[in-house]
Every structure is written in C-alpha cells, then in structure tokens.
C-alpha cells in the first residue's frame, strides 16, 4: 500500500502528488477539520482551560477519507502549512484519527516545506520531524483567549449596548485605532500658512526656482508667514533684494533597496500599487504558492506567503545574484550578498520572506499561464525579491543658498540619479509618491558662488495644514505590525471581520468607522479599557510567542489573563443603562452634535424647542432622542448628515431616484425594504396585480446612497454572460442570488468572494471559482434513459446524487467517489425525491430563531445567548443548553 500525505488544500494535493508519484496518496484536509463549538462551556477555565472540540460534517468526511486511505499504509505524513495554524491542523487530524483507531501500526511524521517545488517537497519528505508541541500550545492559548474574550465580552455588549454585534481580542483594538483616527480628524482645525517661491535665472540664462527660508536674518518656520499680509511683505522684500549665489553644496548619497516581502509589506504594496485588498492579495498569493500549471508542469511559483521574516535561503540569494549579473551587468550586483533582519515588533522570522521559488521564471515568461491578478502579483513579488539583492542607487544632491539684501535667503534643492542601481527594476510607493520623487529629482543648472541671479516672477502661495489621513488597508496593517498586534495569518481576516460586522466601511479605499463601530469602541474604552489597549494586546502577543518558543507555560498565561478579565466582566453586572448612555454621550457628543455654523446649540430639539437632544438606547439599538420624552417624541437615527451627503442616509425616507432606463424610460430607484436595500425598475401596474416590476438586491459593499444609475442597470440586467469556458466551451454567467454573487456554468453554481464585483468579474476569475466548486462535484455521465447528466454533489447533509430535478442522499458510510452509475440510477429510482421549488415554505422557513444557511452549504450558526457564560453545568442538565452563540471575531 502507498503512504499517505495530508495537506490543507486540494490544489496543493494535486501538485504534491505529481512530485511524489504513485507511492504516495496525497489528500486534503480542506483547512481545519474541527474547532471549538460556538457555545458556552467550550473552554472551561475552572478545569485548567480544558477544551471541547467538535468536527463539522466536512471535517468528519475528510478524516474518514484519510482513515480509509491509511488501511495497510506504513506511514502518515502530516504536511500542512509551515505555521502555527498548520501545526494545529496536523494535531487535530492526528487526534481524530487516533480516536477512530486508524493509526494502529502507522508511523506519524510531520513534514514542512516553505515552497512547493519538487526539490523542496522531496527534501522535506526525507527529513521528517515530530509535531511541534510548544507551537501547538501557543495555538491552544490563542484559540482559548479569542474564544473567552469573544464569548464573554460579546454578551455584555448585547445586554448593555443593543444593536452591537461582537467584540474580539484583536479586532476591537484595530477598530479602536480606526475610531481614534476619525476622532482626530473631527477635532482637527486647519491652520493657514504661506510660502514664497521665486523664479530665478542664472547668468547663462538657465531658469530654476527657489523657496524663501530666511527673512530679516531670521529663519522662517512653517507658520512664520501666517497670513496674506505677511506673505505679500515677504514677497516685496524678495523683489527688492539683489540676489546672488551664497553657497553651493554637493554630496552623493546612497539609497539601499528594501528587503523582500513579508505578509504585511506584500499586502501594503499590493494595495498601493495594484489596488488589491488584503484578503484578495492573500487569495491570489495562495494560488501562486500552491501551484500553477506552467508549460505542462504544475509548480509553486512563490514561497509561503504568511511570514514576518525578511531573510532568504542562501541558494535563493545566490541564484538571484547570478541573475542580476547576467541580466543587468556586474555593476548592479553588490560585492557581498545583502542580509536583512526584520524591525517589526514581536516578529518570529520562522519562515523565509515571500520570494519566487525560481528566479529564472521571470514575470514575462510565465504571464501567459496566469490570470491578470496572478501575473501582476507575481511580478511585484519577483521584482521586490530581485531588487533586494541589487546594488544601491546613487544620487547627487545639490543645495544652493541664495542671499540678498535685508537678510533674505532662499534655497533651491535638487538631486539627480548618478547610478540607478535597484531603481532600474523596482520603486517603492504609489504612483503619486513616484511622481513626487521624480519632481524632486530635477536637475539644477550649473551655478557658482557669487553668481548674480536675475529675478523673475515671485509667487506667494497659500496653504492649509491637513488632518491626519484615514487608515487604508495598507496603513492599518502597517500600524498593527508596528504596535505588535495580530500576526501575518490574521491581518486579512481582522479587516474582513470589521467590515462584516458593519463596524467600518471602505470609502475611497480608506476606513471610515460607522456609528455602530464608534459606539462599541466608546463602550469598550469606557468599561474595558485595558483589554482594548494596544500595548496590553501587544504584550499578550509577546507571551504567546514565548509559549511557541517553549519559554513559558500556556496554562500560566491563561490563568493570569482570566483572573483579571473575569473580574472586569463581573463588575459590569450592576452597570446601569444610564451609566452607559452617559459614558457614550460624553465620548461621542461632539461627533453626533457637531458645532452649528450659526453658533446655535447643536443639541437643541428642533421639534419642541425646549428639550435637549442626547443619545438613547432602545431595544433595536441606539438613536438620538429628546430629553422631554414622552411629551416630545422626536427621534432621529444616529447617522450624521454632512455636507455633500457623506455619512448621511439619503434613504431614510425609503427610496432615492437614480434616473430613467435608457430603453424603456422607466424610473430606476433604490429602495429600503424589510430585508435591506434593492433597486427597482418602474412601478407596479395597478391593472395587473400579478405583474411585478423588476427588482434586485444590492450586493454587500454597494451602498444605497452611492450607487450610480449605471451600476443599478447592470444589476437589473443580471445574469450576464462572462464568456465561454476555455476547455468545454460552455457559457459562464455571473449573477446575484439570495446568498450573494455567483458564477454559473450549466447546473453548476459557485459563490464569488466579497472582493469580487459581479458586474465586472472576468473569465479567468470565473473559471478559477468554478474549478474549486467542481472539485466538490463528481460527474458520473449520462442517464441511460434520457441521457441527462447524473452528478454527485456535496450538500449540507452529506453527498447526494442528482439527475435533473431528482435527488437522492447517499447511504450512510458510502463515499461519493465509490458510487457507480448503475448504483446511482438504482438509488434515484428507489429513493429519489424532487427538488423543492425555490421559495417553497416549510417549517424551517417559519422558525424565527434560525437563519438561512450560507452559500457554502455549511450549517448556519445559531443565535447567541443573551447571558454571559456561566460555569459548566452537570452532564445531566446538558439537554437544556442554550442556543449557540455566533462565533465572535
């Protein structure tokens, strides 16, 4: 029998199986096979933080497949990803196999590889190791911490702050950073200042510009010229002064290349240069890591993409240096290899930087095998890694001081690239940054001391200081890394959770906190300040890293945390709603009641004229109400109406007109219904009550007060043809369903990610999404009677066989890969049932406590309990357990 190798994804399994050959069976775990069940008592502090683990249907199915493959095998190689989560997945897989008795007589080995290449995989298989128990203990501590914070703090939020969603150990700190930046922007007051710029000409007639730096012999600081009068006086002094060159200073400086990418710097640069979100970047990087078919061979193009290390393997450095010399010349290769070390706080540096697995695979040579996103990201990674081993750029910087009568001094600066070095291949920053760099790198004309200069136009320019910018995905990741919170594998998910909870929104690629997010932050800062303090969270991350290094015991860390945390939660039991309102009103009063231009009281009630507006908490969330209630029942939502509509809710009255349909002339409106926002074409026909106007829901991320007519028309025209499948020739369509955007080929539907735009998603992306979906579907062929296709699919309740509208569940214990066509036909004839028509109502639809299952087919989480976690009850009472809580980020 063959040995068995377990990896995380089917794409990786396919690649590795080709490298290892027929002596090995490579199976995928599809990520985690079990987790803490989302209910009270899954982590029990009173029992030394014992944990209950529960496998979902998919996990049970995958472990069963692994157990079946192990029959007669000699070894099991656990080859999950080379990080903490990968180590934990291997630990879970082994534990579940042991509980099934599937490991008797089987040797269990752990192997890791930083890149999926034939050499790396075979070297790892030849050098196995044991599971890293300190790393597993760090995982246990982190998982327990996140669970206890989420499932203990979230119920407090639900009780004391109606309308809030959840709290999380790192998520809430990231939200606090966004909210505090917004508060800084709100209190910012622009300050005026002026600069004076002179257009001068050398004796040879060459023009250049210089800025006034001294007046009356005194150096001018930023606000020295505070108004137009001062600026005009300075301008007159420059015009009257006879200017000449006082000094010329020349110096050559070197600019060193940046190190190769870590997870965070990759996400930052992909955001700045390619416009990719953190989650989108990691998804594409995962594809490049797991393997892409290049010239008939499946190869991993980059090393593991979750890392905070900047070092590279010696073999990689040597090959890159050789490539630099061959491609650019010996002058571009430094005399010695460059060695890098990370400056990020709490960095582990357990893995190499993100780099190409083979520098010879240039972006141009592999572009035709990649999607547009893959090609752009690979080029970015390849260039950064190669540039990191190139020579420094050399720039000649020139500073010229120009003096005149009356203590007038101006300065002109410029720099030119004497040797481009790594800049020939790679430049950091955005297009705007690069433009500014080019402007600054202008060449100054030749000048010598005491040269007289002709004075041309003198400009006095007005400026205003700018508020600190809102965080982008890139800058927030950078800030989190600087502080030391989060880890490479968590950045993308943290940002995603904040958006999913509707705590923040992205506006012009910048995070803007929603009022709900600001309320949650104000509440946590007021009553749980320590646990949303960035320094405390960073210190806890340090302790988790020490656990993974085997320096401290994870139980000790948990006991110390839980003792203080549970006491802080207990102190909120007597917290009155009035205390919460007062704290929130105090912290957010300036936000909800900004100063009025007419100087009036921003809190004056516009309805009764005598009441004072303030924050109120109701059953369904927060709102603004009058102090004279119930005599005055004026209320308004929290949304702050701003100039131009930003932040306002123009749909508060129910609908907004977008324009008319270019063909039918019908009005296109966006409306608010009981289930959210939707767009509608035309109005109902009073004469035909059965005829309804065309409608479609707004996909997540598209806001009602910002949707355009063009976007609305695109949504109403769905589904749209994306293109023809390059292999089968079948048409692929993109559409919007009740579970969100999807792509469809024949009877096969596949959900799109939140980063995908259903209106513009391309053929390459659609084929990739369908390929993943098809991995969970097995086509048996044509039915012998009507020649319609017969397929086996993975469903919510296990695999089932489908023929047209008839379906039949596979018997318990029967693997979907073992069923034959004859068995499927017999099963359909014996147990086949017609599919329920869409919109059919049943008991499940009427149950108010249950949500519809997500598009992935996984069971929907149950409603969260209203009470904080209690001590574990005796086993006899478990039947009366409360509904499970939704997993807190």
Q: How far is the C-alpha of 612 from the C-alpha of 622, rounded, in Å?
A: 16
SS3 labels along 318-354 = HHHHHHHHHHHCHHHCCCCCCCCCCCCCCCCCCCCCE
Host H or E run for residue 4: strand 3-7
Host H or E run for residue 18: helix 10-20
Per-residue tokens: 28: 């995928």
Host H or E run for residue 518: helix 515-527
Q: How far is the C-alpha of 856 from the C-alpha of 793, rounded, in Å?
A: 12
Q: How far apart are the first and last CA of the chain?
A: 43
CB 146 within 8 A of CB 330: no
Residues paired with residue 667 on neighbouring β-strands, in sequence order = 660
- Alpha-carbon torsion (100, 103, 109, 115), positive or negative: negative
- Contact residues for 834 (Cβ-Cβ < 8 A; gap 6+): 805, 806, 807
Give the residue from 252, 254, 261 showing the smallest Cα distance to 387.
261
Radius of gyration of the chain (CA): 32
Per-residue tokens: 727: 């292999």
Host H or E run for residue 473: helix 473-483
Per-residue tokens: 100: 């099934």
CB 34 within 8 A of CB 137: no
Give the residue from 256, 389, 384, 260 showing the smallest Cα distance to 334.
389
Q: How far is the C-alpha of 71 from the C-alpha of 59, rounded, in Å?
A: 19
* Positions marked active-site: 304
- Contact residues for 276 (Cβ-Cβ < 8 A; gap 6+): 270, 284, 373, 377
Which string of DSSP letters, residue by residue, matches 697-733? EPPTT--TTT--HHHHHHHHT-SEEEEE-TTT--EEE
Residue 585 has φ and ψ, to the nearest 5°, of -65, -40
CB-side exposure of 61: number of CA atoms within 13 Å?
18
Helix (H, G, I), strand (E, B) or coil at 176: helix
């Amino acid at each position: 029998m063959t040995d068995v190798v377990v990896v995380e994804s089917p794409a990786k399994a396919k690649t590795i199986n080709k490298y290892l050959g027929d002596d090995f069976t490579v199976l995928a775990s599809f990520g985690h096979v079990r987790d803490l069940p989302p209910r009270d008592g899954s982590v029990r502090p009173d029992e030394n933080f014992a944990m209950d683990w529960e496998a979902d249907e998919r996990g049970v199915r995958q472990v069963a497949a692994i157990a079946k493959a192990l029959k007669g095998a000699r070894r099991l190689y656990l080859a999950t990803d080379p990080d903490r989560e990968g180590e934990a997945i291997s630990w879970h897989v082994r534990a579940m196999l042991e509980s099934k008795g599937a490991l008797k007589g089987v040797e269990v080995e752990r192997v890791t590889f930083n890149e999926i290449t034939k050499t790396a995989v075979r070297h790892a298989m030849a050098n196995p190791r044991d599971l890293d128990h300190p790393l597993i203990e760090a995982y246990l501590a982190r998982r327990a911490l996140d669970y206890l914070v989420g499932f203990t703090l979230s119920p407090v939020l639900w009780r004391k702050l109606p309308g809030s969603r959840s709290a999380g150990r790192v998520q809430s700190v990231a939200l606090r950073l966004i909210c505090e930046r917004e508060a800084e922007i709100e209190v910012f007051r622009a300050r005026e200042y002026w600069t004076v710029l002179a257009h001068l000409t050398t004796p040879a007639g060459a023009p250049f510009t210089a800025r006034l730096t001294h007046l009356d012999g005194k150096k001018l600081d930023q606000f020295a010229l505070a108004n137009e009068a001062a600026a005009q006086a300075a301008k007159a002094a420059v015009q009257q002064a006879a200017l000449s060159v006082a000094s010329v200073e020349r110096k050559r400086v070197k600019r060193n290349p940046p190190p190769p990418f870590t997870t965070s710097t990759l996400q930052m640069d992909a955001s700045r240069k390619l416009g990719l979100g953190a989650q989108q970047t990691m998804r594409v990087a995962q594809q490049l890591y797991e393997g892409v078919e290049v010239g008939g061979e499946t190869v991993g193009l980059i090393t593991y993409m979750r890392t905070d290390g900047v070092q590279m393997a010696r073999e990689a450095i040597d090959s890159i240096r050789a490539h630099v010399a061959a491609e650019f010349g010996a002058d571009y290769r430094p005399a010695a290899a460059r060695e890098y070390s990370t400056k990020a706080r709490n960095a582990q540096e357990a893995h190499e930087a993100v780099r190409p697995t083979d520098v010879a695979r240039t972006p141009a040579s592999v572009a035709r095998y990649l999607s547009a996103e893959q090609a752009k990201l690979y080029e970015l990674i390849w260039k950064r890694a190669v540039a990191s081993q190139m020579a420094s750029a050399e720039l000649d910087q020139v500073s010229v001081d120009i003096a005149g009568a009356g203590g007038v001094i101006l300065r002109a600066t410029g720099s030119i690239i004497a040797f481009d070095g790594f800049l020939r291949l790679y430049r950091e920053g955005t297009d705007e940054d690069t433009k500014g760099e080019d402007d600054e790198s202008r060449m100054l004309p030749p000048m010598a001391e005491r040269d007289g200069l002709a004075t041309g136009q003198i400009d006095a320019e007005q400026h205003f200081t700018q508020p600190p910018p809102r965080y982008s995905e890139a800058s927030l990741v950078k800030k989190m890394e600087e502080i030391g919170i989060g880890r490479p594998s968590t950045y993308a998910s943290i940002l995603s959770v904040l958006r999913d909870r509707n705590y923040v929104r992205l506006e012009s690629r910048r995070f803007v906190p929603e009022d709900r997010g600001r309320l949650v932050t104000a509440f946590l800062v007021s009553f749980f300040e320590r646990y949303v303090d960035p320094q405390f969270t960073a210190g806890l991350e340090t302790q988790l890293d020490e656990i993974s290094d085997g320096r401290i015991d994870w139980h000790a860390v948990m006991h110390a945390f839980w003792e203080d945390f549970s006491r802080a939660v207990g102190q909120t039991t007597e917290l009155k709603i009035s205390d919460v309102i007062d704290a929130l009103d105090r912290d957010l009063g300036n936000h909800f009641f900004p100063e009025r231009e007419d100087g009036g009281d921003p809190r004056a009630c516009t309805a009764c004229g005598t009441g004072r507006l303030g924050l109120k908490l109701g059953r369904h969330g927060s709102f603004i109400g009058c102090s004279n209630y119930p005599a005055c029942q004026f209320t308004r939502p929290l949304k702050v109406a701003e100039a131009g509509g930003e932040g306002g809710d123009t749909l508060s009255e129910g609908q907004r007109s977008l324009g008319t349909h270019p063909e039918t002339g019908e009005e296109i409106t966006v409306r608010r219904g009981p289930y959210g926002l939707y767009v509608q074409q035309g109005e109902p026909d009073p004469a035909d009550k059965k005829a309804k106007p065309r409608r479609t829901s707004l996909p997540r991320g598209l806001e009602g007060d910002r949707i355009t007519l063009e976007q609305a028309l695109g949504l109403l025209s769905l589904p749209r043809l994306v293109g023809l499948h390059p292999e089968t020739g079948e048409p692929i369509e993109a559409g919007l369903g009740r579970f969100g955007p999807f792509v469809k080929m024949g009877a096969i539907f596949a959900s799109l990610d939140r980063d995908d735009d259903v209106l513009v998603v391309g053929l390459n992306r659609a084929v990739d999404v369908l390929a993943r979906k098809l991995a969970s579907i097995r086509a048996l062929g044509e039915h012998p009677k009507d020649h319609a296709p017969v397929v086996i699919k993975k469903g919510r309740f296990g695999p089932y066989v489908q023929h047209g509208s008839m379906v039949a569940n596979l018997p318990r214990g029967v693997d979907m890969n073992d069923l034959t066509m004859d068995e499927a036909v017999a099963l359909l004839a014996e147990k086949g049932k017609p599919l329920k028509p869409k919109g059919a109502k049943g008991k499940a639809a009427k149950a108010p406590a249950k949500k519809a299952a997500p598009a992935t087919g996984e069971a929907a989480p149950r409603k969260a309990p209203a009470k904080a976690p209690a001590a574990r009850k005796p086993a006899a009472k478990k039947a009366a357990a409360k509904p499970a809580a939704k997993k807190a980020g």
